[in-house]
C-alpha cells in the first residue's frame, strides 16, 4: 500500500490538471489509473475524481471488503450488477451537484459499448457531457517518482524469476504449454496480480514475433522464444529471451540487472 501522503500529492496534481482542462471530474475505469490515484484498481469497477479532489470508487459488493482495506478513496460504493453500477454513478453525479458540465473519460481504454452504457439515462444526467481525458492521465503519470521506479523494478524482478523457471522447464519432450505454465505460476507466486499474454514459440514457430502458446513439444536443438509480461502493483515488466533446448539451457540465462 502506497503511503497516504503520496496519494494526496497525486490528487493535488490531478485536480489541477482536471480543472486546467475545463473538466468538472474524470471517470476512470482503467485499473492502472485507478490504482495510481486511489490505491485500488480492478475490472468491473470505476473511480470518479472531481476537480476539487473528492473521490468515489464503485466496485462489486463481493469485492467491497477487500477494497476497503487498500483503497485511499473517502467514498467506496458497492453494487450488485451492471444496473447497480449505473445507479451508483447517478448517485455520485448528484452528490457532486453535476447535473450539467463536463466529465473526462478514457477514450483510449473504454470500449464503445462500455461508454454507451455510462451514457444511459439511469447513469448520467442528460446535460452532463462526456469528453476525452486521456491527456490528463498521460500528463499526470509521464514522470515517474522514486516510489514508482521501485515498483517497476519489482515487476522486473518478478519477470526475471519467471524467466528462470521457464528456461529450466525448456527440455526435450516438454510442451510450450508447460513452459508457459511454469512461468505463469512463478509470476503469481512472486506477487504478480496479473500478466499480459505469455508467449512461447519453439522450433519453426520461433520466428513468430508474438507466438501464441501451442501444444508443440520441444526437440533437442530447438530455438525457443519466451516473452513474459507480469503486472505487480499495477506496474508492468516485459522480458523476452531466445534460448536453445538441450544445450545446457539452464546455464544460458543470466539474471537481468534492474538499476
Per domain, the residue ranges of the chain are 4-141, 146-251
pLDDT greater than 80 at residue 233: yes
Specify the pairing of strand 127-132 against strand 239-244.
unpaired
Residue 254 has pLDDT above 80, yes or no: no
Question: What CATH number does the domain located at 146-251 have?
Answer: 3.90.230.10
Burial of 246 (0-12, 13-18, 19+ CB in 10 A): middle
Mean pLDDT, residues 83-102: 96
Judge if 4-141 and 146-251 fold alike in CATH terms.
no
pLDDT at 216: 97
Instruction: Write out pLDDT tens, residues 147-185.
Output: 899 999 999 999 999 999 999 999 999 999 999 999 999
CB 48 within 8 A of CB 25: yes
Q: Which three cell numbers stand for residue 92?
A: 455520485
Residues of the chain with pLDDT > 70: what percent?
Answer: 94
Summarised one tens digit per residue, pLDDT across range 99-120 is: 999 999 999 898 889 899 999 9
Strands 46-50 and 25-28, bridge-based pairing: antiparallel
Phi, psi of 144 (to 5 degrees): -90, 135
Residues 6+ away with beta carbon under 8 Å from 214 = 175, 176, 177, 201, 205
4-141: what CATH class? alpha beta
pLDDT at 250 (0 to 100): 46
What is the pTM assigned to this prediction?
A: 0.79
Most distant pair of Cα atoms in the chain: their distance: 68
Based on the number of CB atoms within 10 Å of its own CB, is 43 exposed (0-12), middle (13-18) or buried (19 or more)? exposed
- pLDDT tens for 171-228 read 999 999 999 999 999 999 999 999 999 999 999 999 888 889 999 999 999 999 999 9
Q: Confidence band (pLDDT; 50, 70, 90) for 257?
A: low
Amino acid at each position: 500500500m502506497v503511503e497516504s501522503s503520496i496519494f494526496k500529492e497525486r490528487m493535488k496534481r490531478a485536480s489541477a490538471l482536471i480543472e486546467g482542462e475545463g473538466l468538472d471530474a474524470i471517470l476512470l475505469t482503467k485499473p492502472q489509473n485507478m490504482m495510481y490515484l486511489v490505491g485500488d484498481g480492478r475490472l468491473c469497477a470505476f473511480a470518479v475524481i472531481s476537480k476539487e479532489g473528492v473521490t468515489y470508487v464503485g466496485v462489486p459488493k463481493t469485492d467491497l471488503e477487500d477494497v476497503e482495506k487498500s483503497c485511499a478513496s473517502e467514498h467506496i460504493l458497492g453494487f450488485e450488477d451492471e444496473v447497480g453500477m449505473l445507479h451508483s454513478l447517478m448517485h455520485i453525479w448528484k452528490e457532486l451537484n453535476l447535473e450539467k458540465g463536463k466529465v473526462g473519460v478514457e477514450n483510449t481504454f473504454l470500449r464503445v459499448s462500455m461508454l454507451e452504457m455510462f451514457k444511459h439515462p439511469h447513469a448520467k444526467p442528460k446535460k452532463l457531457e462526456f469528453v476525452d481525458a486521456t491527456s490528463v492521465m498521460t500528463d499526470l503519470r509521464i514522470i515517474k517518482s522514486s516510489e514508482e521506479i521501485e515498483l517497476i523494478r519489482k515487476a522486473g524482478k518478478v519477470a526475471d524469476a519467471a524467466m528462470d523457471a521457464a528456461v529450466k522447464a525448456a527440455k526435450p519432450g516438454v510442451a510450450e504449454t508447460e513452459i508457459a505454465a511454469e512461468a505463469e505460476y512463478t509470476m503469481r507466486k512472486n506477487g504478480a496480480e496479473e500478466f499480459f499474454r505469455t508467449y512461447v514459440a519453439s522450433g519453426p514457430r520461433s520466428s513468430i514475433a508474438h507466438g501464441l502458446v501451442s501444444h508443440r513439444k520441444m526437440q533437442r536443438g530447438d530455438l525457443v522464444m519466451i516473452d513474459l509480461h507480469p503486472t505487480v502493483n499495477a506496474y508492468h515488466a516485459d522480458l523476452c529471451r531466445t534460448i536453445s533446448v538441450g544445450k545446457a539451457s539452464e546455464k544460458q540465462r543470466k539474471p537481468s540487472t534492474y538499476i
